[in-house]
């Protein structure tokens, strides 16, 4: 029986809305950390299906899993316990045995789920290839303040060349929190640290940390959607017993070492990973080194994103129609506002030879991001560029946004006032108002 139209329509809208993200994420490298609690949870199969989907969409995927509860359970079963110093477990030789068992067991479970291919399941036809190996070289923490950490180690080196080779072959790389020393010893490592160092070594596009809870504002108890590194550092300092401490520490380190984006996503939220990666506002906390929006000069790679932004506005006659070729020829005149790989705003500055007049053109901000001064930001950026290029006057043509330009100090003028420049016949045909601003 066909689905009701509204459901079909919402499905179509959802699919179309997610398509820019599918393009933006393709061939990008994501490192995803999830704890041992996640591996044991009932919903873990769903997480694995989501990982498989990301792999099918051309994302280069490295998975790093934790094993803390698995080690705890083995210790308990044998009436033993281990001591922690700060976040580090002291791994004696008996505990190391449980670490190896836990890592081996978890890896087999994950590989099995990634190998599933039952018809009528989300994994049908997925045919995922998984690789694990000795990618992590470790060294002992050693003896600190008289305490010997035994087989608890730190990452010494990540074999990024080997990992990249597997990613190149479209394999999912699965890494356990275990490292090997050149002397042949095995070390128990923090999974968050391994994920962070892998993301840094690969210069991954994203480090994604699946957490046990949301990153909340302590006063309002609302989810914090974005944090800069300095804001994350303040959060970490003020809340010393914060359960997200290892994740925040990992995020700060990764951002400081040039990993562009770190996402904290509550693993309990069904489909959280997909919602965060394929919807406009996401459901997690995005931590980035700088502001998560970048205003920069466009390149030819940005043309599909620019077209996607301006096509609906051309259809409404808010912007003059431009062909792909036209944009390509003038691409260095364009500036774009980029947010997490998506183009959410653009503007162009077209000069006229032998004059000190330039045209501010193709100004657009995506409807989801309007009313937050982004239009002003784009205009201010372009006016600065104009000034640097010794432009004295700027004009703009507008059919429906003239009042916006008035508020930015533009005045309406007649065609005769700018007779020295050749106006395109299309601007005259669409009866656009001519707006003018003197640059001081």
Ligand X SMILES: CC(C)(COP(=O)(O)OP(=O)(O)OC[C@H]1O[C@@H](n2cnc3c(N)ncnc32)[C@H](O)[C@@H]1OP(=O)(O)O)[C@@H](O)C(=O)NCCC(=O)NCCS
Can you tell me the distance from the alpha carbon of 336 to that of 252, in angstroms, rounded to the nearest whole number?
27
186-188 sheet: strands from edge to edge = 153-158, 136-140, 178-180, 186-188
Residue with Cβ nearer ligand X (299 or 400): 400
The nearest distance, CB 424 to ligand X, in angstroms, is 13
Matching residue, tokens 């944090």: 227
Of 107, 95, 83, give the one whose Cα is nearest residue 186: 95
Residues of this chain that bind ligand X (CB under 6 A):
313, 318-319, 363-365, 370-376, 396, 398, 400-401, 403-404
Matching residue, tokens 């009436």: 79
Residue with Cβ nearer ligand X (263 or 366): 366
Residue with Cβ nearer ligand X (103 or 364): 364
The nearest distance, CB 391 to ligand X, in angstroms, is 17
Residue with Cβ nearer ligand X (126 or 394): 394
The nearest distance, CB 281 to ligand X, in angstroms, is 16
Can you tell me the distance from the alpha carbon of 334 to that of 349, in angstroms, rounded to the nearest whole number?
7
The nearest distance, CB 367 to ligand X, in angstroms, is 8
Residue with Cβ nearer ligand X (115 or 399): 399
Asked if residue 149 lies in contact with residue 143, where contact means CB atoms within 8 angstroms, the answer is yes
Residue with Cβ nearer ligand X (313 or 343): 313
Q: Which residue is nearest to ligand X (CB)?
A: 375
Containing 288, the helix (H) or strand (E) segment is: strand 285-288
Return the SS3 of 199. Answer: helix
| Chain centroid, CA 430 distance in Å | 40
Residue with Cβ nearer ligand X (60 or 374): 374
Can you tell me the distance from the alpha carbon of 398 to that of 431, in angstroms, rounded to the nearest whole number?
9
The nearest distance, CB 423 to ligand X, in angstroms, is 14
Q: Where are the beta strands (DSSP E) in 111-260?
A: 130-131, 136-140, 143-144, 147-148, 153-158, 172-175, 178-180, 186-188, 206-211, 226-228
The nearest distance, CB 416 to ligand X, in angstroms, is 21
The nearest distance, CB 379 to ligand X, in angstroms, is 8
Asked if residue 202 lies in contact with residue 160, where contact means CB atoms within 8 angstroms, the answer is yes
């Amino acid at each position: 029986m066909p689905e009701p139209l509204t459901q079909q329509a919402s499905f179509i809208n959802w699919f179309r809305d997610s398509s820019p993200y599918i393009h933006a994420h393709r061939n990008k490298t994501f490192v995803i950390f999830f704890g041992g609690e996640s591996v044991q949870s009932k919903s873990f199969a769903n997480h694995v299906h989501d990982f498989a989907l990301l792999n099918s969409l051309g994302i280069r995927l490295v998975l790093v899993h934790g094993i803390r509860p698995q080690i705890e359970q083995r210790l308990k079963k044998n009436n033993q316990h281990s001591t922690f110093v700060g976040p580090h477990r002291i791994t004696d030789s008996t505990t190391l045995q449980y670490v190896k068992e836990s890592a081996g067991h978890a890896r087999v479970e994950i590989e099995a789920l990634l190998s599933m291919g039952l018809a009528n399941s989300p994994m049908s036809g997925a045919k995922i290839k998984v690789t694990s190996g000795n990618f992590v070289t470790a060294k002992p923490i050693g003896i600190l303040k008289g305490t010997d950490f035994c087989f608890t180690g730190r990452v010494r080196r990540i074999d990024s060349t080997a990992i990249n080779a597997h990613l190149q072959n479209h394999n999912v790389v699965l890494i356990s929190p275990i490292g090997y020393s050149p002397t042949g010893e095995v070390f128990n490592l923090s999974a968050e640290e391994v994920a962070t160092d892998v993301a840094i070594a690969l210069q991954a596009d994203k480090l994604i940390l699946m957490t046990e809870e949301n990153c909340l504002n302590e006063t309002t108890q609302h989810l914090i959607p974005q944090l800069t590194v300095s804001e994350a550092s303040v959060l970490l300092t003020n809340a010393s017993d914060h359960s997200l401490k290892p994740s925040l520490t990992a995020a700060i380190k990764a951002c400081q070492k040039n990993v562009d984006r770190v996402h904290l996503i509550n693993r309990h939220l069904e489909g959280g990973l997909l919602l965060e990666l394929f919807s406009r506002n996401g459901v997690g906390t995005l931590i980035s080194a700088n502001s998560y929006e970048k205003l920069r000069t466009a390149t030819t790679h940005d043309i599909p994103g620019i077209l996607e932004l301006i096509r609906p506005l051309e259809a409404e006659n808010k912007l003059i129609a431009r062909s792909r070729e036209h944009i390509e020829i003038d691409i260095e005149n364009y500036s774009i506002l980029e947010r997490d790989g998506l183009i959410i705003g653009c503007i162009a500055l077209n000069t006229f030879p032998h004059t000190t007049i330039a045209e501010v053109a193709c100004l657009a901000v995506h409807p989801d991001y309007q009313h937050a001064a982004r239009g002003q930001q784009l205009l201010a950026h372009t006016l600065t560029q104009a000034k640097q290029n010794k432009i004295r006057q700027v004009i703009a043509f507008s059919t429906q946004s003239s009042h916006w330009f008035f508020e930015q100090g533009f005045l309406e003028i007649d065609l005769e006032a700018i007779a020295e420049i050749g106006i395109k016949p299309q601007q005259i045909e669409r009866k656009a108002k001519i707006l003018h601003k003197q640059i001081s």
